[in-house]
Each structure stands twice: as C-alpha cells, then as structure tokens.
Structure 1
C-alpha cells in the first residue's frame, strides 16, 4: 500500500515538472510569435536558445519549425533543414489547420529547393496548392505559385516561370494583397527582360511601380525600381537607370543600388562621380567588401593607375578565394550539421522505439499479471463455490441419513410391537430392508465424498520411491477415526461389544478398513506388503471373535451387523 502511494506521488511530481517545463517553453514561443514582425532578430535569438529542439514533443517541435520559417521570411536567414520540416509537416498534416498545413509545405518545399532537389520541391508545392485551393487560402496559393516560378527561374525555364508568376499575381489580386501583387508583376517583368522582351517587361514593371506607389512598404517599391534600373542598364540608357537606382535608395537595402550606381558611372566614364560615391558608402560591410574592391580596381584601371588597380585586384581575388573557401567550408559544415542532426534524430527515434518497446513489454506484463490474478480469483471463486456445493451436498446427505435412520428405527419399533405376522408385518419387513439399504448407501456416499477419503485415495495412487514409513500420520489416524465414527456412530460400541479388550490401534485399523480400500491401496498407505494387509484383516476378525457366513467378507459383515 505504501509503495503504491509513493509511486503515485512520484508520478504526480514528474508530471507536474514536465508540465511546468512545457509551460515555460510555450511562453517563450508565445513571446517569439509576438515579436517576430517588430523585432525578428530578437525572435531569432530566442528560438536559437531553445536547447535540443529535436527532443521536443511533436507538437512543440512543429510550432518551433513554423516560427523559425516566419523569422526567415523577415530577416532572410537560412531555412531549417528539410528533414526538420518533414517532421513538422507530419504533425501539421494530422492535427494542424489547413492554413498551417499549406504554410509548412511551403517551407518544406523551399528547404528542398535550397538543397537543389527541385523535383521534390515542385511535388511538395503541388500538394500545397491542392490543400490551399480546396480551403480557399488564395494568398498562400499565390505564394506557392511564386515559389514554383522561382524553381523554373533557377532552371532557366523562363516561359514556365512567367506562367507561374502570372498565376501568383492573379491570386494576390483576388485577395487585394497589393504588395505581393506588385512583387509578382516585378518578377514577370524581370523574366520578360531575360528573354529580350524589353517593351513588355517595361510595361509590366511600370504597372507594378504604379501599384506600389500606394504601398507602405518602401522595400517593395525599391525592389521594383531597382529592377527597372537594371533593365535600362541593359539598354545602355544610363540616365534613366540612374534615376531609378536613386529612387531605390529609399528602401532599407541600399548597398545593391549604390553598387549598381557606381558601376553605371564607371560604364559611362564618370570616374570622378563613381569614386566619390564609392568613398561615401560604408567600407566595412563584409557582404560587399569584394564588390567594393572590384569597383576600386575598375576605377583605377580606367584612370591608368595600374599599381592601385593591381593592389585592389589582388585584394579582390583574395577575398573571392576566401569566400569560395568559406562557402565550401560552409557547405561541409552544413553537411556535417545535417549528418549530426540526422544522427540525433535517429537516436531520438531509437529511444522512442525503445521506450515504446518498454511500454509494450510493461503493458504485456501488466496484462499477464492482471489475467493471472483474475484467473486465480476466478479459480478461488469456483473452488469456493465447489466447496460450498460439496458442503451443501454433504449436509443434505447427512440430513437424509438422519431421516432414514429415524424412519428405520420407527419401523423396527413398530415391527417389534406386532404380535402377529400379518400383511402389515411383511410390508414393514420389506420397508426395513429397503431403508437399511438406502441408509448404507447414504453412509457410503457421505464417506466417498469426504475430503479425507479423496486425500487418502490420492496418496494410495502415488508412487513414492524410497519411502520407508507409513503414509498415514498420527493426525491422519485421528482424522480417519473421527470421520468413520461420525458416519457410522454405532461402530465404536459394536466393535467393543465384540472385543472388549481390543487395542486402540486395532480399532483405528478397523476404521481404515471400513473406508473400503482394496489391499494394494491399503498396503501403500501403511507401507507394508499386500499379504500383510490380508493377515491384519484376518487377525482383526479373530480378535473380534467373528465367524463369517459363506460368501461374506469382513467389511460386509461389519456394515450389516453394526446397526
């Protein structure tokens, strides 16, 4: 009782501890979700500081992946590996809302696209489209078509890319998503420019630029103006290109536009303006250091300052080599990270499988124990019922025996009182014989149904090698005597009327003899030879001074005459 109470208390504490830990984690994820849009960098740090996300339960892990994807959309860092989104998608596909299912599939497709597995990504996007259209999630459908267009763009399939971007634009327009609609038009215009359809590209881009005028997101308009500037550079229309690059500087990402402007000045031999602008931009931006060195190299080379040009070219080459080396190392590190993550995932799966195996074994053992207990209780119940039935049957037999005895005595008294042998006398004589026979049958049934008789029968049927003593102990002798004298209450007086000096052990043997066992069984019980049993019976007959009638055994004689 105490141990079960202790287990219950420990289990309660364990569940409370896990619940508190899970609650704290949920609060952290709630905080991440709250600040993603206003402070995505802090949200990213909070997510990165969650220890061992692989060990989270499926629901919490899926939410962690979803929030990580949303942070990536804000600060453009690297998406999580595809296998992590696979696990998240497995949970959302079973328990998530349709919107969550589509969003997870988009992240999963993008992750596979980053790995270069375009066919897998396209298959996942197709699945996302099916769920999105079915549930009328047109914004997400539009984003899915945009990412499909990106895949075709990576494979230089311009016509297919334009088709997907156009479908994305249609869905964004249907949902009045102005910013995304303008971006989709920008992507369409860019692709038309790549297939030398410049007029069509400009037409679409000006439409996008007009739509973006009403946008509160300056980055959307800046990206369109940057695209327009690049198209005019392709046409060598530097003045128009310059105007759009300067407008694009109103966006948050300024460096690409500065780089484009400086390149434009160099191309138009405005070296002084190129150098002044180059010297004004931040020189410590590591993402653009190699571009800055390349621009210095081009300016000094155009000026004829070959020494400075060579110096910057060497630095530019060194940086490019370093970047290539860093990129290769990053890929190696990424592969190692994926391997380690997959290894951790496998370990987690193995642990879960072991845990499930232990749970299954525990359930089987517990079930087996419960079935054993139930079987034992059922056996006890049936055994108890059987004993009760036997006791009731024995009680009925004893009642019948007592009633027969009373009736027999009454008949004998009536018979003795009759002075003449008339019809009644003969009838009473027959009744007495019948009652006596029934009385003996009941006595015999009471005997053979007794537990003592069954126990002695079982002992007599056993073979016990090396046994050198009687199987009937002192306690069993007493039990035999009590059982026989209870069933045959006249026995004691009858036997001692025949042999007043009969020793007690002979009377005990007489009780054993009246159990009715054959000589072999009796010999095993007494651990003597079979002929010794015959001699014991013969000596008992002599001590009782009994002369047996023809074809009568001592057993039959005693049963008949003790009444």
Structure 2
C-alpha cells in the first residue's frame, strides 16, 4: 500500500513539474534577418509574419520596422501606420540610433502608400536631415527620389526639380550607374514639367546606353516625345524605333504605337497613322484607347472620311465615360478603405482603453484598502485628465477630418478641371469639324468674288444649312426659336450664317446690302427680336448658344 502511495505521489510531482516547466520559444535572430533583407525579402517577411511569440521591449520596435521594410520591398500593400509608429516612438528617443533615418524613410513610404502626402513629405524630409550626417548615400537618394515624385504629383514642380537634383548628387556619390541613370530619367521629367526641354534632353542623353533595356526603352520614348512636341518628326521617329527595338512590354509597345501615330499624323501621313493607332488599341488601358480613338478621328478627318471620324470620336467619348466611372469606383473603394482604417483604429483604441480601465480598477481597489480619501482625490484628478484628453483628441480628430476634406476637395477640383479641358477639346474639334463640313457642302460661300457679285442661296441650300447647324449644335434653330419666339424664318437663317462664322463681305454679298446695314440688322435682331440690351455683339451671343 505504501509503495502504491509513493508511486502516485511521484506521478503527481512529475506532472506538476512538467506543467510548470518553461516552454522553450524559438529564437528570432533579427540581425540575421536584417542581413538577408536586400537579397531575400520574401523569406524575411514570411519568417516575421509567422512569428507569434512575445518579444522584448527592445526587439519589438525593430521587429515592427523590419516587417514594414519587408512589406515595402516585396510590394505588399501597407494600409496602416500602426507598425511604423511603434518603431518611430521607440527610436525617436534615441537620436544616435542608426535606424532612425531608415525608420523615417519607411514612414514616408507608408504614408505615401496611404496617400497621406503631407505626412509622407514630413518624414522624407526628416530622413534626409538625419542621413545628411552619415555617408549612407543610397538611402539619401531614395528619400530624395520618392520625395521628388510626390512633389511632381502635387504639381510643386520647382520643389520637385530641386529635390531631384539632390537625388542625382547622392546617386553620384553612391557610384551605382543604374541608380544614376534612374535619377537622370526622373530629373528629365522635372525639367519637362517646367518646360525646360533642352535640359531634359541633356539628362536623357547622358544616361549610360548600357543601362537596363527597359530603362533605355523608356528613355528613348521620352526623347521621341520631346522631339515630337517640337515638331521634329524625323528625329522623333529615329528614337521611337530605338525604343521599340529594346521594348519587351506589350503595354509599352502600345504606347509606342500611339506616339508613332501622332508623329505620322503630324507628317500628314494618315494611312500610317491609322495603322499604328489601331495597333495601339489592343491594350486594356483606357487612357491609351482614348488617345488612339481621337488620333483615328483626326486621321480619318484628314482623309475626309468624316463618317469614320465621327465614329471614332464617339468611341473616344465612350471610353472617357468608362474612365470616369472607373475613377469614381476607385474613389469609393479608397474612401471605404479609409473608413475601415479609421474604424480599426477606433476599435484598437477602445481595446486599449478597456485594458487601461481594468488596470485602473485594480489599482483603485488596492488603494481603497489604504486610504479612501486619497482614492477620492485620485479619481477626481483622473477624470479631469480624461476629460481634457478627450477634448484634445476630439480637436485633433476634427483637424484631421478637416484636412482630409480639404484634400478631397482639392482632388475633386483637379478632376473637374481635367474634365473641363477634355470638354473644351471636344468643343474645338466639333467647331473644326463644322467649319470643314460647311466648306465641303457650300464651297460657293468660300469663293473669292468681286464686291458686286451676289451670292444666291436657294431654298434647298437654306434647308441644308439649317440641317447641318442642327446636327452639329444639338438642334440649334429649335432652341433658338424656343428662346426667342419673335425671330422670323429670315432671322433664323441669318443667325445660322453667323453660327457658320461667315465673314462680313460674304454676308454683304448674300443680302446685297452695305456693311453698315449688316451692323444695323444685327442690332435690330438683338434688341427688337431677342430683347437683349447689353454690350455683347450678336455674333458672340449666337456662338455662345
């Protein structure tokens, strides 16, 4: 019996010792992972993301920083600033830390990914300031390079040029020809944004021709585009063919075809332009399709095949509508992500606040055992601090929302401006089409004749003129009669001639009256028939309808 009791006792002691034994956690060698970051970032990311054990207060900020770094290097989406803020809060209290400049750089990358450009610019500038005291030229180049890109997107072109020059300086100090070539390429765009094409060409021509083929293809594309804008079409053709020879991206080849189409259009070689514009439409890129359809419309218009021209112009407008719908959908998705991100932050804050309250309750109970008066004073002081902190948080949140609303309003105005420009281009194309249509349908209105010759317009001619005006300008005569019912048929015909922008001499020959009589006729129609009494002339009123 005693032997059985001893065995049972030994068994329980063994179980207790095993349950109390400390579990051996796998060791996470952060220094080793940091050495592998540049060569194998995917493995580093998988190792970090699979690690679930608790780290020390010293290692956890480094873990957060390296996780953000590996996500950036593996092109993963970063939609929260929680991890990088942990690293910032830790390393900013250690000014001599070698990681601080890199932490600020990746904070800039995180906020750039989240489209919070003011915060991104702030951290890139901090990174540059800290790197300036070291010799880490590559990190300095990266900070300047991405900061320059943000300045360009914000249309701060002078600032973009200045910071890209710094990026070029650091790239030269780094000594990597590929980095220097990429910097010169970005610097050329900064010069182009300021209209300094000669400086842009200088940068592009000084890129090492033995650089990466994709980079050189883009370089030749850019050079060709500059010469195309300067109407140097033969030189542009030479460089665009250099680009095609190096190109292995089908999307970029479509862009090459667009540029070739524009060049041939500039040389009035409409057949060649049509071939390349049609080839460029094999892509799914809506911007390329819009440009290609507009180019095809111009080419067929040059060939006087107006039906095809109108078809492609309509197709371009359809693509524009699709693009606008996609941009609206993207904006909704982006706003939804912002909302989800804010919701997650609020939930995290609520959890932290809940944990804090539990701890405070425990401290309160312990304090109650010693001194109730001290507890009362402490609770009162704590509640006061909470109210002040809550007011402060609300003010910060209100300022952040105000800043976001201003940013959204700016982006909305920018989109509206772009849409207005597209509509103005459409109006110009429509006017040009109308003038050409009139010159083809009524060539006798453009003939150079003596002052004594009268131009006779038959009833059929008047019907054709009215039909053309209504077709191009959305039932112009119908709207004119609705707005000004006092106008007679002859007055409407006269307004149609003004809409055709016929010169005064032609109007005199049509109506067989003097110049002064034409002016009086315009004033009579404007004041008596239309009831308009201001400083505008009738021509401007008709053209504005």
Of 206, 211, 214, the match for 2:210: 214
Q: Is the 1:294–1:316 contact (alpha carbons within 8 Å) kept by the matching residues of 2?
A: no
Shift of 1:59: 4.2
Name the structure 1 match of 2:147: 148
Counterpart-to-counterpart distance in 1, 2:37 and 2:174: 27
User: Which structure has more RCO (C-alpha within 8 Å, separation ≥ 6)?
Assistant: 1
Of 216, 234, 237, the match for 1:239: 234
Mark the CA change 1:57 to 1:49 in structure 2 (over 3 Å): closer, same or farther. Answer: closer
Name the structure 1 match of 2:346: 343
Q: Secondary structure of the equivalent of 2:155? A: coil
Q: Is the 1:186–1:224 contact (alpha carbons within 8 Å) kept by the matching residues of 2?
A: yes
Matched, 1:258 2:254: yes
Shift of 1:31: 9.0
Written as runs of structure 1 = structure 2, the 5 A alignment for 1:155-554 is 155-207=154-206, 209=207, 212-215=208-211, 217-249=212-244, 250-251=246-247, 253-256=249-252, 258-266=254-262, 267-268=265-266, 269-280=268-279, 283=282, 285-286=283-284, 288-300=285-297, 302-303=299-300, 304=306, 305-306=308-309, 308-309=311-312, 312-346=315-349, 349-350=352-353, 353=356
Mark the CA change 1:4 to 1:235 in structure 2 (over 3 Å): closer, same or farther. Answer: farther
Q: Is the 2:289–2:316 contact (alpha carbons within 8 Å) kept by the matching residues of 1?
A: no
Shift of 1:184: 2.1
Q: Is the 2:78–2:114 contact (alpha carbons within 8 Å) kept by the matching residues of 1?
A: no
Name the structure 2 match of 1:130: 129
Mind listing any 5+ residue stretches in structure 2 that lack a counterpart? Answer: 1-8, 301-305, 369-545
Mark the CA change 1:59 to 1:170 in structure 2 (over 3 Å): closer, same or farther. Answer: closer
Q: Is the 2:49–2:67 contact (alpha carbons within 8 Å) kept by the matching residues of 1?
A: no
Deviations 1:392-424 (A, max 9, x none): xxxxxxxxxxxxxxxxxxxxxxxxxxxxxxxxx
Deviations 1:144-183 (A, max 9, x none): 2223323433343333322221122111111202222222
Shift of 1:102: 2.5
Mark the CA change 1:131 to 1:12 in structure 2 (over 3 Å): closer, same or farther. Answer: farther
Mark the CA change 1:148 to 1:306 in structure 2 (over 3 Å): closer, same or farther. Answer: closer
Counterpart-to-counterpart distance in 1, 2:219 and 2:291: 26
Mind listing any 5+ residue stretches in structure 1 that lack a counterpart? Answer: 366-563
Deviations 1:82-123 (A, max 9, x none): 444323433555789956432331221233345554443333
Q: Secondary structure of the equivalent of 2:132? A: helix
Mark the CA change 1:221 to 1:325 in structure 2 (over 3 Å): closer, same or farther. Answer: same
Counterpart-to-counterpart distance in 1, 2:355 and 2:247: 49
Deviations 1:465-503 (A, max 9, x none): xxxxxxxxxxxxxxxxxxxxxxxxxxxxxxxxxxxxxxx
Shift of 1:127: 2.0
Counterpart-to-counterpart distance in 1, 2:39 and 2:225: 38
Counterpart-to-counterpart distance in 1, 2:240 and 2:365: 70
Shift of 1:350: 4.3
Counterpart-to-counterpart distance in 2, 1:274 and 1:176: 43
Mark the CA change 1:190 to 1:25 in structure 2 (over 3 Å): closer, same or farther. Answer: closer
Counterpart-to-counterpart distance in 2, 1:229 and 1:90: 48
Q: Is the 2:224–2:240 contact (alpha carbons within 8 Å) kept by the matching residues of 1?
A: yes
Shift of 1:309: 1.6
Counterpart-to-counterpart distance in 2, 1:82 and 1:54: 21
Shift of 1:139: 1.4
Deviations 1:428-447 (A, max 9, x none): xxxxxxxxxxxxxxxxxxxx
Mark the CA change 1:199 to 1:118 in structure 2 (over 3 Å): closer, same or farther. Answer: same
Shift of 1:237: 2.0
Q: Is the 2:274–2:299 contact (alpha carbons within 8 Å) kept by the matching residues of 1?
A: no
Shift of 1:12: 4.1
Shift of 1:194: 2.6
Name the structure 1 match of 2:381: none
Deviations 1:248-284 (A, max 9, x none): 342555524532542441342444334434554583x
Q: Is the 1:98–1:131 contact (alpha carbons within 8 Å) kept by the matching residues of 2?
A: no
Q: TM-score, normalised by structure 1?
A: 0.50
Shift of 1:335: 0.9
Counterpart-to-counterpart distance in 1, 2:243 and 2:44: 28
Shift of 1:326: 1.8
Q: TM-score, normalised by structure 2?
A: 0.52
Q: Secondary structure of the equivalent of 1:81? A: coil
Counterpart-to-counterpart distance in 1, 2:224 and 2:86: 43
Counterpart-to-counterpart distance in 2, 1:59 and 1:246: 49
Q: Secondary structure of the equivalent of 1:134? A: coil
CA RMSD after TM alignment: 4.7
Shift of 1:320: 0.9
Mark the CA change 1:195 to 1:306 in structure 2 (over 3 Å): closer, same or farther. Answer: closer
Counterpart-to-counterpart distance in 2, 1:121 and 1:90: 16
Q: Is the 2:79–2:341 contact (alpha carbons within 8 Å) kept by the matching residues of 1?
A: no
Q: Secondary structure of the equivalent of 1:214? A: coil
Name the structure 2 match of 1:453: none
Question: Greater CA deviation, 112-121 or 128-137?
Answer: 112-121
Counterpart-to-counterpart distance in 2, 1:187 and 1:341: 37
Q: Is the 1:225–1:247 contact (alpha carbons within 8 Å) kept by the matching residues of 2?
A: yes
Counterpart-to-counterpart distance in 2, 1:359 and 1:221: 67
Shift of 1:48: 12
Deviations 1:296-330 (A, max 9, x none): 35314531304642552353033213212222222
Counterpart-to-counterpart distance in 2, 1:282 and 1:28: 46
